[in-house]
Structure 1
């Protein structure tokens, strides 16, 4: 009886299968190699980030069968792997994930976990996660800053039902409240003393030309979570027009706008912004002080 192959050996085999299929990535994995490792770690029952420390782990026939099924579904459906597994990882935290919301992957998560937004968070701060989706950014904020009161809102009741599951999973029902509605209209207009210190938002910002050219993996996500109109700025305009009413005078708005920096600058040439450095560069996420809105 031949010995069971190791994780390292099977990892290469699965990577080759995914590579040969011409898939697109960007939903929690940057390439075939990282996605293959994610599959195997999940099948073996440990976090993807721990997989590189376990390359000698034997892969049983049952595990191989499970991974084979995921590989086949990934190739034939072109769905993001997070939807197939029912789970996505962001900054080392697992989140329930399915077609009810976009797969969480915001660069704002890096800023939260690395503490780069804390200068905007006085003691007992109030934070709003606008377009919260499955709740991942709101949850990361609550976990990183236990004294902060977090609100999350989204237009999609389906997304919020998923967010509620993730909030409950992390025992954060006392720290996070969620609202359903269209952008800031979802949140009751606060009194001066109850306004937010910080609004974070990863809105739909993909321009219409880019939307038309997205690979199938992205079209598997809710279009409402991605499409931002002709220049990608339709919802950003609404947010910027109304955010000041919800922010304290010393507060700030943090927006992720992805590859739309040129369109943002063209749409809002008069607004001074601070670009925040993230792993993808210094033109993906910006901060606007309330006084400049």
Structure 2
């Protein structure tokens, strides 16, 4: 809705703006190449932080320029030297300026986030999807899950935008998926994404504080990307992260407030051969110190970072 309103405003202002900017400081920015170069310089100069999908200023500049011009975001070459009319240029410059001045993550400016080829609607009601689970799901959690087709019931705990629940539905085609979140706002966003993928009959969204609303439900796979930012880290987060819901990030002094509750309650909701998989970011040392009796398996992804642990049902406290 907001994106549509914004387009409408731009349309109303165009004639006036064109005239006003006829000899503006940005007149030399004529092509897509010019605008990407300019955005990259602005982002570097402003020392923006890129932790929401883009790897650096250039990557983000390409994405924002192509998205704003309604061009395919994976095909830059054919458009590099295309001349951009003034009204479109104003829109692009406006987005660049907002990214710099307000430090809003690009995903909130474009109302979308990508995990591989999967697109999700996002806004400030949910954390921007950026999970290590994407690569692990693509591999089907081998060897712990021998047959992805055999998974019939799985849980995405702390679902946020619903992105992981949707990916689970894709990679475990026989499964019914439950997605849980404490935030009604987040569940509204998740509902929109579930509907966009036509998965209303497959993904069930539940408002619940961890396992509270689940009754006796049991799953072969419980996956969670919970809040895990320590209080010290919350104090020094880059400004971009402050646009995200605090409850999706902060998790007490040691970042393990929710992880403790997940480990304590997961056994009751797993089948005998089920597994629990949880992302904890850079907190491996804190997790191992808090649970010295548990033999965590740390999963590596393509970047070789061990930020996700796996426990079998029989390893968990009863």
Q: Which one of the candidate residues 89, 96, 104 is aligned to 1:71?
A: 96
Pairwise CA distance, 1:124: 4.5
CA 1:114–1:9 in structure 2 vs 1: closer, same or farther (change >3 Å)? Answer: farther
Q: Is the 8 A contact 1:113 1:141 kept in 2?
A: no
Rounded Cα–Cα distance in structure 2 between residues aligned with 1:5 and 1:79 = 25
Matched, 1:254 2:277: yes
Rounded Cα–Cα distance in structure 1 between residues aligned with 2:31 and 2:75 = 12
Rounded Cα–Cα distance in structure 2 between residues aligned with 1:53 and 1:93 = 22
Pairwise CA distance, 1:52: 4.2
Q: Which one of the candidate residues 150, 166, 182 is aligned to 1:139?
A: 166
Q: Which structure 2 residue ranges, 5 or more long, are not aligned?
A: 1-26
What residue is the counterpart of 1:113 in the other structure? Answer: 138
Matched, 1:30 2:55: yes
Q: Is the 8 A contact 2:49 2:238 kept in 1?
A: yes
Pairwise CA distance, 1:146: 2.1
Q: Which moved more, 1:178-187 or 1:153-162?
A: 178-187
What residue is the counterpart of 1:197 in the other structure? Answer: 220
TM-score (normalised: structure 1): 0.92
CA 1:4–1:14 in structure 2 vs 1: closer, same or farther (change >3 Å)? Answer: closer
Matched, 1:81 2:106: yes
Rounded Cα–Cα distance in structure 2 between residues aligned with 1:226 and 1:211 = 8
> Helix, strand or coil: the match of 2:277?
strand
What residue is the counterpart of 1:278 in the other structure? Answer: 301
Q: What is the CA deviation profile of residues 41-71 of structure 1, one whole-angstrom value per residue up to 9, with x for unaligned ones? A: 21232453x1345453615224322221111
> Helix, strand or coil: the match of 2:306?
strand
CA 1:240–1:68 in structure 2 vs 1: closer, same or farther (change >3 Å)? Answer: same
Matched, 1:223 2:246: yes
Rounded Cα–Cα distance in structure 2 between residues aligned with 1:124 and 1:159 = 26
Rounded Cα–Cα distance in structure 1 between residues aligned with 2:152 and 2:257 = 29
CA 1:146–1:213 in structure 2 vs 1: closer, same or farther (change >3 Å)? Answer: same
> Helix, strand or coil: the match of 2:274?
strand
CA 1:117–1:80 in structure 2 vs 1: closer, same or farther (change >3 Å)? Answer: farther
Where do residues 232-271 of structure 1 align in structure 2 (5 Å cutoff)?
Answer: 232-271=255-294
Rounded Cα–Cα distance in structure 1 between residues aligned with 2:127 and 2:62 = 22
Rounded Cα–Cα distance in structure 1 between residues aligned with 2:179 and 2:215 = 12
What residue is the counterpart of 1:123 in the other structure? Answer: 150
Q: Which one of the candidate residues 176, 179, 193 is aligned to 1:149?
A: 176
What residue is the counterpart of 1:291 in the other structure? Answer: 314
Alignment length (residue pairs): 287
Pairwise CA distance, 1:6: 4.3
What residue is the counterpart of 1:60 in the other structure? Answer: 84
Pairwise CA distance, 1:14: 1.3
What residue is the counterpart of 1:92 in the other structure? Answer: 117
Q: What is the CA deviation profile of residues 88-108 of structure 1, one whole-angstrom value per residue up to 9, with x for unaligned ones? A: 111221111111110111101
Rounded Cα–Cα distance in structure 1 between residues aligned with 2:306 and 2:160 = 23
CA 1:258–1:54 in structure 2 vs 1: closer, same or farther (change >3 Å)? Answer: farther
Pairwise CA distance, 1:228: 1.3
